[in-house]
Amino acid sequence: MTDSFDSLHAHRPHVFPRRFWRKLGLVGALLLYLGLTLHQLGLPGLHYDEAKEAGINAMELLTGAPVTAFRGASLHVAGVDLPLMVQDYIGALNVYLALPFLALTGIGVPNLRILSVLTGLAALLLLERTVSVWMTWPGKTPAEEAAPISREGVIAVLLLAASPSFVFWSRQGIFVTNLTQPLTLLCLWQGLVWLQGGRPRALWLSALAGGLALYAKLLAIWIIAPFTLLAGGWWILARRRGNATAPPLTGGQFLGALAAFLLPLTPLLLFNLQTGGTLNSIGGNLGESYYGVNNLDIGRNLAVRMTQLGQTLRGDHLWYLGGIYANMVAVRLAVLAVISGLLRRPKRLLPPLALTVAAVGMSLFTISDLFITHYALLQPLLIGVVALGFGAWFEPLPAPAVERALRWSGGGLIALWLLLDLSASLAYHRVLTRTGGLADHSDASYHLAYYLQYQGLGAPIALDWGMEAPIRYLSQGAVRPIEIFGYASPNAPDAEFKARLELFLPNSDNVYLLRAPDQTVFNGRREGFVESSTSRELYPVLEERFRQRDGVALFEIWRVTGSSDTQ
């Protein structure tokens, strides 16, 4: 007993400082993230997707206004229509999660974005858990469900916390559906815990998180599907070989996991029973997407995605904040870390690397476009792989001098990555203070919304995309633009566009919302507006123009009049 106590006591001086410094590093990284994300949270301007995919429905539910459910699909409960989806492939989770924040703090932009910031914080915590559990797998003995904080887990959080991509995507998290990040990481973490001999509840929680991630946004399948295949394949092989860590799976446990997975997908099922929207959206864009991406052109799509992967690591894609800043060594260091990990700890690195490669492969297909914002889903996983690779630089070696050199070198490279990320993120904040955001992210939308509200223009006619949702949210429902431009094609108006427009032209009190000519999203609507007006001997008159802080025109308010002398 004495020998055992002395042995334990002898190790305490080594174990305690290591755990302390890791906890300190983790807390420091989280505080750094919060500082970077909470600063000037009202900028850039509110993006259309933020308002459309959370803000408007949450505002309606809180104020008791009629709920404008996407495609009219809702669940009627206690006299309230609960929206099922906000897009054909995006669930309404953000709507319901936003409710307590808006109820407590009021309806505003920072109030809505607090949800996204906390979502990013949860993603950082779950990334540490996922990487730390991955450090114990595959093991020869069952792992504890609460794995200790690993060096690699702290490295992953440090490298992600200051990343310009992660920071500014988290600030506008509804724009990129960053809710998929913590849900997919929870699925991975608990799935790995179960594979290492964890209790059945870990399997059920993993399945529930996977279903929630898919409901949050369907593209979470990029991670959920390959993880299920990889985990299932490993479990089958491990059971056949008699691996002691591979848990048994009874019929009841399997059915429980299946039920946990399907439960959060119930709204998606109900939505498709009512509208068929998701199935039609996928089926109608299998060969060519809505924005013209050829899903069969694998080579071109792969080239685009590989470029975006590098941009995600560097952070040089956030032009709409007002400038381009980058961590120019991030890609090189990531490659170096992965190669190091493959050379020194291939069994530990190969599974998460295979999962990442599979996810990138699945991202080559899209029903919309190859948007870089899709990689908000993949960035935490990618950084986790890099952290596992960097961890190889800190493993013991027979030669103490070489070991010390590698440790100092690894620490220096991690510090360099972190400092360059921090420098880029701070530079983005500085330029954002000056510009207020550009294009669809400009704070000019605030001035547009308030002008309409205080001029009593409660029902303007929107002839282009991107204005209706922010105006409704910013005016707290006082202004409800009427979109008539038609979503059938962004390239040209549909056959019924002019008929819809001509319903409003006879009323001279109507005002029309257009984008400035070089900011047009849905083409041909401006020309149709002018042509229809003049054919009735009416004349379009520009009433007001709203500009970015640098003077570039973004939005316009027009009227029509019977006299050509007004302009």
Q: Looking at the predicted structure, is the pLDDT value of residue 11 above 50? A: no
Contact 278, 70 (CB under 8 A): no
The rounded distance, in Å, linking the Cα atoms of 452 and 2 is 80
Q: Report the pLDDT value the prediction gives residue 291, as an integer from 0 to 100.
A: 82
High-pLDDT (> 90) share of the chain, %: 84
Residue 242, pLDDT score: 81
22 close to 105: Cβ distance less than 8 angstroms: no
Q: Shortest CA distance to 468 belongs to which of 408, 420, 512?
A: 512
Q: Let me know: does 295 contact 363? Beta carbons within 8 Å.
A: no
Instruction: Decide if pLDDT at 564 tops 80.
Output: no
Q: What is the DSSP secondary structure assignment for residue 147, as one 8-state letter?
A: P
C-alpha 514/C-alpha 508 separation (Å) is 17
DSSP run (H or E) holding 74: strand 74-77
* Three-class DSSP labels, 192-228: HHHHCCCCHHHHHHHHHHHHHHHHHCHHHHHHHHHHH
For residue 284, the model assigns a pLDDT of 85
Question: Three-state DSSP class for 248?
Answer: coil
Burial of 286 (0-12, 13-18, 19+ CB in 10 A): exposed
Q: Express each pLDDT in 314-363 by its tens digit.
A: 999 999 999 999 999 999 999 999 999 999 999 999 999 999 999 999 99
Among 78, 82, 124, 116, which Cα is nearest to 97's?
A: 116
Q: Are 68 and 57 in contact (CB under 8 A)?
A: yes
pLDDT of residue 141: 58
Query: What are the start-end ranges of the H helices in 436-519?
Result: 444-454, 468-474, 497-502
**Cα distances (angstroms) measured from residue 322 to each of 78, 309, 311:** 46, 21, 16
- Which pLDDT band, with edges at 50, 70 and 90, does 499 fall under? very high
Q: How confident is the model at residue 139 (pLDDT cuts 50, 70, 90)?
A: low
What is the predicted pLDDT for the residue at 309?
Answer: 97
Q: Tens digits of per-residue pLDDT, 357-389?
A: 999 999 999 999 999 999 999 999 999 999 999
For the beta carbon of residue 65, count every other beta carbon within 10 angstroms. 15
**Taking each helix axis from N to C terminus, what angle separates 109-134 and 346-362, rounded to the nearest 10 degrees?**
140
Amino acid at 266: T
Q: Does residue 440 surpass a pLDDT of 70?
A: yes
- What mean pLDDT comes out for the span 124-144? 82
Nearest Cα residue to 522 out of 554, 548, 477, 485: 485
What angle separates helix 400-435 from helix 151-161, to the nearest 10 degrees?
30
